Amino acid sequence: MAPHHLSGRPTRTTAVAITAAALFAGAAFGLAPAATAAPAAPARATAAASASSSSVKFYDIPGSGGITLKGNVFTPAGAKAGDKYPLIVFPTSWGVPQIEYLAQAQKLADAGYTVVSYTSRGFWLSGGNIEVAGPPDIADVSSVIDWALANTPADPSRIGMGGVSYGAGISLLAAGHDKRIKAVVAMSGWADLIQSIYSGRTQHLQAAALLGVAGQITGRPSAELNQILKEFLGSDLAKEQDMIDWGWKRSPAAYVDRINQNGAALMLGNAWGDSLFPPNQYADFFGKLTGPKRLEFRPGDHATAEATGLLGLPNDVWTDAHRWFDHYLKGADNGIDKEQPVQLKSRTDGSYEGYPSWQAVGPAKEDLALSGTQKITANVDSGADGGLVFLSSLLDQFAKLPPMASIPLLPRSFAAVWQSGTYGEDRRIRGTAKLHTTLTSTKESGTLVAYLYDVGPLGLGKLVSNAPYTFHGQTPGRPFPVDLELSSTSYDVPAGHHLALVVDTVDPLYIEHNPLGAQLTFSSPASDPSHLTVPLREK
């Protein structure tokens, strides 16, 4: 591939340089959504570096299909002709411009990396339309790598990818399509797009709406994306399989065999309360990886665990990201490969725990019997709900205040409730609680939402986990089994408290499919008892 010499302004990465970069990007904000990217114009590119600091330059980088991607490059201090450094490529998050990674890119360049960040296609001043990590986005990654090898001191044998959210998903997908990628750090990303926003066959309303609105404001959604969102939010069941196929094509889990064959070392990080990409699908994907791998879960919501690191502040996620790149791109003997590959930070006590695998996280199981028969009327919010995207999990992360409900006051006409006995010692929940029950509906379609609460002596319940479930095509009046995984978590229930399982039919997080007048009956046949299986850490 012939070199592309593109225009760029050398900037010293001092505090003044960071301010200048922010102003540069800020000028782009007002133009971004309406801008049409022009072809990259050839120009002389010269490096600026000091003896003590890395340098940054802003570029027009050729993407796939002839579009232009707005990007920047950090190079190590003192870089000169003939020098080669490991390359790290950062695609930006959904709706975020190329300044997103400036602080971390400088730190990495100061540590001896060439770092290329670019605004993902369809957003701000980058060309093209928003394809939601579709084939053009993956082709963009290879184009950016080609350009970096031709125009920066990048070592072709030491290439890494990284990113937050959208950038994480693109990085994982690229690892299955470009064999040159040797290491990936995917923070707050997804492995299965369908299980992220359509788990339990239920549309995650707030999450999808948030992504759709942000895309309209900061970019140019493709016609395909607009159509998918219309069908998704409009509950067009005739298009359900088309939507599933569209999402699976954009899921790293669909390419796990390619990813394993290519052999990149993958570090996955996510938050327990991620409103967009819940932890279950990341954990399932992690279990299928055969190469070097690491899985980290922490309290918080989407991208909040690593957010302070984007500002250049101390941050555990980014510290581990640097260690991961250092080991797998520079050969540093820093011990990260010898640590337990699963690292969890509890929502309650804030300590870290290491495990050899995800399966080892909650080896002990406690089955809570869901005895008797309970009938509820649909279409009424009982008062139990999963909260609001971002806000609720942020409160849990920083104030340990998850969504709450007074269990004794929940109206039993609209909420089915089962409670355990009071515990004489702590219960350390680790992993994925699983619900099995028998359901009878008066209508062929419906939605239920299950909530697991930690209930104190006064009856106030703190939300431990939740999950939705939607059914279609059932025969009214005929019982059928329901199996539902709640969102994975790490939560300690104190002695003197007990657990409560609450099931109702309305939650502002989700689109519900309960016809007017529908009733749901939960039973526990002797031949197939209903129960909730809670995973516990061994004492």
pLDDT digits (tens, 9 = 90+) for 455-505: 999 999 999 999 999 999 999 999 999 999 999 999 999 999 999 999 999
3 lies in some domain: no
Selected residue with higher pLDDT from 30 and 271:
271
| Exposure b/e, 251-279, CB count within 10 A at least 16 = b | bbbbbbeebbebebbbbbbbbbbbbbbbb
N-terminal to C-terminal alpha carbon distance within the chain: 59
pLDDT value of residue 538:
85
Confidence of residue 514 (pLDDT cuts 50, 70, 90): very high
User: What is residue 156's three-state secondary structure?
Assistant: strand
Mean pLDDT of 244-253: 98
45 lies in some domain: yes
Mean residue pLDDT across the chain: 92
Q: Do 334 and 398 sit in the same domain of this protein?
A: no
2 lies in some domain: no
Taking the mean position of all CA atoms in its chain, how far away is CA 269? 8
6 lies in some domain: no
Cα–Cα distance measured from residue 244 to residue 431, given in angstroms and rounded to the nearest whole number: 26
Q: What is the CATH number of the domain that holds 387?
A: 2.60.120.260
pLDDT value of residue 52:
63
Would the pLDDT of 451 be above 50?
yes
Mean pLDDT of 267-276: 97
Token reading at 164:
């937050």
DSSP 8-class letter at 120? P
Which of 303, 338, 355 is the C-terminal boundary of a domain?
A: 355
**In the block, which residue shows the tokens 């050839």?**
42
Q: Residue 491: name the closest of 297, 283, 348, 305 by CA.
A: 348
Confidence of residue 112 (pLDDT cuts 50, 70, 90): very high
Please check whether residue 83 is in contact with residue 155, taking contact to mean a CB–CB distance below 8 angstroms: no
Which of 330, 355, 380 is the C-terminal boundary of a domain?
A: 355
Mean pLDDT of 160-169: 99
pLDDT value of residue 351:
87
Q: Do 329 and 421 sit in the same domain of this protein?
A: no
Selected residue with higher pLDDT from 390 and 151:
151
Which amino acid is residue 46, in one-letter code?
T
Q: Do 150 and 263 sit in the same domain of this protein?
A: yes
Q: Name 480's bridge partners.
A: 439
Residues 6 or more apart from 112 whose CB is under 8 A from it?
76, 85, 86, 330
DSSP string computed for 24-93: HHHHHHTTTTT--PPPPPB--------SSS-EEEEEEEE-GGG-EEEEEEEE-TT--TT--EEEEEEEPP
Q: Do 336 and 425 sit in the same domain of this protein?
A: no
Q: Do 371 and 333 sit in the same domain of this protein?
A: no
121 lies in some domain: yes
Cα–Cα distance measured from residue 233 to residue 348, given in angstroms and rounded to the nearest whole number: 35
Mean pLDDT of 18-36: 34
pLDDT value of residue 226:
97
CA distances from 317 to 186, 188, 251, 303 (A): 10, 10, 23, 10
Domain containing residue 78: 11-355
Q: Do 67 and 40 sit in the same domain of this protein?
A: yes
Q: Do 325 and 473 sit in the same domain of this protein?
A: no
348 lies in some domain: yes
Token reading at 192:
């299965």
Confidence of residue 54 (pLDDT cuts 50, 70, 90): confident
Cα–Cα distance measured from residue 276 to residue 303, given in angstroms and rounded to the nearest whole number: 10
The upper half-sphere exposure of residue 257, i.e. CA atoms within 13 Å in the direction of its Cβ, equals 1
Which amino acid is residue 156, in one-letter code?
P
Cα–Cα distance measured from residue 387 to residue 204, given in angstroms and rounded to the nearest whole number: 13
| Exposure b/e, 97-119, CB count within 10 A at least 16 = b | bbbbbbbbbbbbbebbbbbbbbb
Cα–Cα distance measured from residue 196 to residue 168, given in angstroms and rounded to the nearest whole number: 14
**In the block, which residue shows the tokens 């002596």?**
457
Q: Do 305 and 448 sit in the same domain of this protein?
A: no
Report field, pTM of the whole predicted structure over 0.85: yes
Would the pLDDT of 38 be above 80?
no
CA distances from 126 to 67, 82, 250, 528 (A): 8, 30, 20, 56
Burial class (CB in 10 A: 0-12, 13-18, 19+), 529: middle
Predicted confidence (pLDDT) per residue in 298-329, tens digit: 999 999 999 999 999 999 999 999 999 999 99
241 lies in some domain: yes
Confidence of residue 282 (pLDDT cuts 50, 70, 90): very high
Would the pLDDT of 64 be above 50?
yes
Q: Do 114 and 185 sit in the same domain of this protein?
A: yes
Q: Do 342 and 403 sit in the same domain of this protein?
A: no
Q: How many domains does the chain have?
A: 2
Would the pLDDT of 294 be above 90?
yes
Confidence of residue 390 (pLDDT cuts 50, 70, 90): confident
Which of 312, 337, 355 is the C-terminal boundary of a domain?
A: 355
Predicted confidence (pLDDT) per residue in 429-439, tens digit: 999 999 999 99
Q: Name 469's bridge partners.
A: 448
Confidence of residue 285 (pLDDT cuts 50, 70, 90): very high
Cα–Cα distance measured from residue 42 to residue 421, given in angstroms and rounded to the nearest whole number: 72
pLDDT value of residue 81:
87
Q: What is the CATH number of the domain that holds 249?
A: 3.40.50.1820
1 lies in some domain: no
Q: Do 336 and 411 sit in the same domain of this protein?
A: no
Predicted confidence (pLDDT) per residue in 360-369, tens digit: 999 999 999 9
Q: Do 481 and 527 sit in the same domain of this protein?
A: yes
Would the pLDDT of 10 be above 70?
no
The upper half-sphere exposure of residue 490, i.e. CA atoms within 13 Å in the direction of its Cβ, equals 27
